[in-house]
Every structure is written in structure tokens, then in C-alpha cells.
Amino acid sequence: MSHIHTIRFLLEGRVQGVGFRPFVCRTALSLGLTGWVKNLGGVVEIRASGDREALLVLERKLEEAPYPVAVEKVTKEEVPLENFSTFSAIESSGEPLAPLFPADIAICPSCRKELHDRKDRHFQYPFLSCTACGPRYTIIRSLPYDRPRTTMDSFPLCPECQREYEDLKNRRCHGETICCAACGPALSMVTEGREEAQGDEAIERAIALVKAGKVVMVKSIGGFQLVCRGDREETVLCLRRLKHREGKPFALMVHSLKEAEKLCFLTDQDRKLLTSPACPIVLCRPKKEIKTVAEGVPRLGIFLPPSAFYDLLTDGVKAPLVVTSANMSGEPILYKDEEALSWFKAHEIDFLFTNNRDILRPADDSVVKAEESHRDMIRRSRGFLPEPAVQGAKEGTLLAMGADMEPSFCLTAQGRLYPGEMPCDLENESSEEAFLHMIEDWENMLGIRPERIVTDLHPRYISSALGERLSADRGIPLWKVQHHQAHGLSVMAEHGLSGKAAAFVFDGTGYGTDGTIWGGEILLLEGNQMVRAGHLDAMPLLGGDISMKQAWKTGLASLVYAGLKTEDYRYGLVKAALAAGVNTIRDSAMGRLFDSAAALLHLKEENRFKGECAMALEQAAVQAKRKGKTALPLHLSLKEEKGQLIWHREDLIASLVEADGTIEEAALGFHRAIVDMVVESARLLGVEQVILTGGCFHNGILWTETKEALTKEHFKVYGNEKVPCGDGGISLGQAFYGLMQG
């Protein structure tokens, strides 16, 4: 007879809110083990009794638990023998020990099947979920993750749902968000401040109204959204006027991969991202341009329904839908019912489809892009928050404040780095207060009390001022780190790099240690040390925020800098202003060079939204490649000056305005001139590890061709994949810097 033992397991990772306890019960019972499993703060505790071989098998199976479970660490110890009659899940207890909150998970295939099955009791119920799907991050108050600690506590389970909750063989066993039409949240339609329909009738009205070309407002998983047909030009233009969003692209929600294939050329990576549990917007290559939706850009945002409601809506309308946040461009997301209702009335929207489940914290739709095997994270939000981007780092508790554009913050504890995203720029008092509220909410949610704060070096960043305020209020130390150094360190943090690395950091702005604007940087990074090994030559630009929008000014300033002339009537004004030093700044940002090229090639003269000119330049280069055209032989000049590699732009500017060839060939040549200069600089630096980061590397051609060229030269190339390479990921690098400082 085998000897019986009792083992206590503690499991860390993504182990709550993902169906892990039922999995443990089923596995233990199949092995003939007895005992129990429970949530203990932010971890899961197991007591299991049985023979040693069965206990070893259990341990192995725990580590191999299927997605969305992610077991990071298993701690076990033998305890005095305990006798149990069976194996069961028991009531949770304890304070958070090592919190890892689950992210929101898109509707799973099993629930989707039930949603459309007339014989199933969940048929057409817009809030169905199970242990493998449903809201998590947006509704959890605290750990342990149990229904009473979520906004589902207002919806007691009906007898049928209770039976499913207790049935180990049912995939809804211990599903904390499960519900049905008899006991769960209810959909309602509101117009002119009055409720007009509920339940099935509200769904039917939503389908009919959107199908007819109306713009409606919807309470979604992480906030309120505006929805309309994407195949009706006049409807999309109406939505643009409503949001004051002149040219920025919209994304389209489609019902299935089959529908996505009709609009875009999908790669295997695209399909994998589209059907992933995070269900992000995926930027794909369009088969044809949809002008009112996404004009003049190389990619079209596509995503599948993240919830049962949207699955029903896309299935009923049978057309791609524009789905966007219900706010003015640049404003915080609306997620509180009272504020949303006021906005609904103030903007004279005809129809609101809402529900009676509270949203605790906002989450925008995440945006990603696949460049072959590389995942380019554009916006890290729903489906990814609040999971850590880095684990196993140096321990310490701190708060990093990010930057003002694409603001983010990062909290650290127990070797985990938790970046959070603020879905609007820090431009006004309301966005500042929303940012501080989100930081406080995360600190409480994760149980983290920062012992120091890290900010950007920029003396006029709002995020830096807020960090200084928090530091003074809390009486904790404040550190500052240079903008582009933080960009480079974010990649080192993601990939766990050590030793020396050459970081090519290309973006549109950033305060340098010399008081000028940087952004075309070659940095040598080792530990927390930074050496500026080179950069794009700094040229005078007409200053102010408006210069980042008016690419034509940057283009004309480039001509003045290169000693070239043009018949453009504005040239003399720009030249005179530069000569007089009127509101000028010295700028070495790669983003402004992209703006110059777009303006000089007459592709775009204004950035109506961030990066529009650069996207137009990329799109022209993409067209050249698709048509098999040859890139014009353009180049930057590399000179070593005072121990630094300086990239001079004069020859490149001259070639852009004087060379023969098409605009598309010139655009492709421009990209390849930068690629060539990166490779030549890397050779001269003699460093094995190369980092490519900064917002310019959202450009697919720049990223792909630079990586390919460096790889051929046997460099090891790294970029951001878990956080954006733009300013949305900078807080991760700041946090990493702070941890290295000790």
C-alpha cells in the first residue's frame, strides 16, 4: 500500500478569474487525490493528500494549465497528514500577497456558440461569460477574485446559474462573472433621457438603428463608445463631425475572420492576434482604401467582437462597424453612467444602449500590429491591463510617471513591472485628475505603496510636475531620467538584456541633457549609464507646439538649413524668422525629418493627428514596394565630430527636391537612407546588441528593413513588443531605471 502524504502548494501568476480552481479540482479528482483549493489574496493555495506519484503528476499538470491560466511560480512543502473526503474548492481568504489581477477576456468560442443557439438558455443574452471569458480588470474591486469583490455582486445567481457554478464538470464552475437573463445585467435603450426598450427588444432596436445608418452610443466593457456602419460614407462623416475628428483613422469591427479577409490581406500573425483572448484592434494591410474610415495610411484597424453584445450587433447588421470611444478626441474615456448620460444629452445623440453593471475603471480597445514575427504594441489597454509587462526584475516599489503624450505610468513590486495606460494626452485639468485617479486606483488595486518616484527630465512636462507634487506630498525621493534613455531601457527591461547595447531611438521630441530637443539618437546603454554616441544633426526650427503640426514649416526650414531655395511664397517668411531667431529651437528629432520629407514630396503639409505625415510617407514607400519600383539612391552623410557620429541631412534634403523619379520611389529611398545609416553606425560602434525604439519604429518599413539589414550583419536586434515603442511605453523604461538605481 502506498504511503499517503499531504502537500501544500502556493501558486503565483495569473491564477484567479481564469477557471483555475475548477481545473485544479478536476485534475486532482482524476488522480484520486483529496483536499481543497482556494484563492488566498493574490495567489492560489492547494492542500492535496495522496500518494507521492499522484502528487508529482498534479504538480506537473498545474504548471501546464491551459490558457488563460499562467502559473509563474509553484512553492510546495509537505505538511502533517490531513484526511479529506473529497477534493473541492473552498471559500477564499487572506490579504493580497503577490497580486496579479486578470485582464478582461473576449467572448470565447463556446459562449459564442451558445449565444446563437436557440435551444440554449443563454441564447442572445448580451452578457454571458464563463471561466474562460468576460470582464475582469474593469469590474474587480479587490483580490481575492470572487463575485462579492466585483461589480457583479449586485446580481445574485439564479438557481440554474448556481448549479453551473457548483458543477465541477461545467466550464462555468466558479466563474465569478457568470449570469443569464434571469439574474444578470440587463441591456436597455435610452432616448431623450427615457428608457424605451429592454432585453431582446433593445438588441433588435440596436441592430435596426445601426443598419439604417444611425450613430448610437453603447456602454461597452471598458467605457462608452460610439457605433455606426463603416460602409456608409455619410454616416462616418457624421461621426467625424460629432467627435471633431477630421482625419484620424477609425477601426472597423467585423463579425468573423471571414469578414476580415474581405477587407484586408491577413497574415498568420494577424489571424492569431485577431482571435486572441485580448481581442485587440489589429492594423492590417487593406485590400482597398476606405477613404472616410482610414485615408492615406498604410494599415486598416480591424477587430472582432470582444463581447456578446457586439457579436450580436455585428451578426445582425451584417456590415463592418466603426466603433470608437464616446468622447472628443483627446478627452478621457467616459465610463461612469452619470457622466456618460450628460454627454449623451449634450451632444444630441439619438440613442444610447446601456446596462446596469458598473464599470470600475476605463479600458480602451488595445491596438497592435504584426511585422512578421514581431508584435508592435500601439496601445496597451483592454485585454492586457493590468498584467505586468516584466517579471523577475530587481525588487523595489516605485512609481514612474511616463510622458505627456500617450501618457502611461508604471508601478513596481516584487520584481514585477505593471505599466498602466491613460487613454488621452495630458492637456488639461480633467486629464490630469483622471491620470492621478488612475494611479491611486492601481496603487490600491495592487497593494503597492511606492517608496520613490521617477519622471522625465523635461522641466515643463505635466507628468513631471505631477510626479514632483506626489513626491512632495508623500515625502518620498524623486529621480529623473532622460526621455530617450528611458525608451532604450524599456527594451532592455522587456528582454532582460545585460551588458552594453546601442540604442537607436527615433521619435518626434524629447528634452535632451543639453537643453535642446532630441529624437534622432544613438545611445550606448550599459546598466543605468547612458552615453550619447551620436545623433541626427540639430537644425533650427520654428518653435512651439504648432511646429509639430505644420510640416510645411519644418520642410521649408530644412531647405533653409541645406542652403536651398524654393518658389513657395512662405519660404521667405520662414527664412526671415529663422534668421531673426524668432521663437526658434534646435531640434534633432527623426520625426521632424519624416515631416520634412512628406512636405517636400507634397504628400502632406499638416499633421491633423499625430504621425499623419509620417504615415503618408510610409504609405508611399509601401506602394513603391508593391509595384516593384526601385528606390531612389538617397543618403545621409555620416561624420565623426567630437567623438560622436553625426548624421547630416543636407544631401538627403537636396536629393528629395532635385532627384528624378516618382514620389513613391523617393519615399522608399528616404526610408532606405535611414536604414543604411543605422547599419553603418552600428558597425562603427562595434556593439553586438542593437535596440530599435521610439515612435518612428511604428513605421513598418523602417522597422522591418532595419532589422533585416542588421541581422544580416550578425547583430542581435531587439525592440518593444509588450509596451509601445512610442511614449506609451516610456514609463516602463523609467521604472527600470529607478530599480537599477537601487
- CATH number for the domain that contains residue 442: 3.30.420.360
d(CA 232, CA 290): 10
Report the DSSP pairing between strands 453-456 and 584-587: unpaired
What CATH code is carried by the domain that includes residue 26?
3.30.70.100
Kindly state whether residues 192 and 319 are assigned to the same domain. Answer: yes
Residue-number span of the structural domain to which 454 is assigned:
388-477
Does 201 share its domain with 65? Answer: no
Number of domains in the chain: 4
Give residue-wise pLDDT tens across range 242-254.
999 989 999 999 9
Look up residue 240 and give its amino acid: R
Active-site annotation holds for 583 = no
For 172-205, the pLDDT digits (tens) are 998 999 999 999 999 999 998 788 899 999 999 9
Same structural domain, 349 and 440: no
Tell me whether residue 173 is in a domain: no
Domain presence at residue 601:
yes
- Domain final residue pick, 67, 89, 111: 89
The catalytic residue among 8, 14, 26, 39 is: 39
Active-site residue, selected from the candidate residues 21, 112, 172, 240: 21
Pairing of strands 351-355, 216-219: parallel
Q: Give the residues of the chain that fall short of pLDDT 50.
A: 1, 96-98
Are 479 and 454 a contacting pair, CB within 8 Å?
A: yes
CB of 220 closer than 8 Å to CB of 187: no
DSSP of 130-152, one letter per residue?
BTTBB--TTTB-SSS--GGGBGG
Co-location of 720 and 662 in the same domain: yes
Domain boundary, last residue among 66, 89, 112: 89
Specify the pLDDT at position 541. 93
Active site residue 39: yes
Do 312 and 413 lie in one domain? The reply is no
Domain with 273 in it: what CATH number? 3.90.870.10
For residue 134, tell me if it sits in a domain. Answer: no
Measured distance CA(80)–CA(65) in Å, rounded: 27
Domain identity same for 310 and 204: yes
Q: How high is the pLDDT of residue 99?
A: 60
Beta bridge partners of 421: 408
425, 509 Cβ separation under 8 angstroms: no
Q: 531 and 422 share a domain?
A: no
Q: How many CA atoms lie within 13 A of 115 on its CB side?
A: 23
What are the φ and ψ backbone dihedral angles of 568, each rounded to 5 degrees?
-55, 125
**Cα distance between residue 129 and residue 110, in whole Å:** 9
Shared-domain flag, residues 520 and 580: yes
Kindly give, in sequence order, each residue whose CB lies less than 8 Å from that of residue 420, ignoring residues fewer than 6 positions away. Answer: 385, 386, 408, 409, 410, 411, 438, 439, 442, 731
What does pTM read for this prediction? 0.92
Which position has the grid cell 479587490? Answer: 142
Are 531 and 670 found together in one domain? yes
Neighbours of 657 (CB within 10 A): 16
If asked whether residues 328 and 226 sit together in one domain, one would say: yes
80 vs 624: CA distance, rounded Å: 72
Q: Which among 89, 73, 82 has a CA at the least distance from the CA of 50? A: 82
Number of C-beta neighbours around residue 528 at 10 A? 16
Question: Rg of the Cα trace of the chain?
Answer: 27
Residue at which a domain ends, from 55, 89, 123:
89
Pair (328, 414) in one structural domain:
no
pLDDT at 95: 54
Using CA atoms, how far apart are residues 597 and 603, in angstroms rounded to an integer?
9
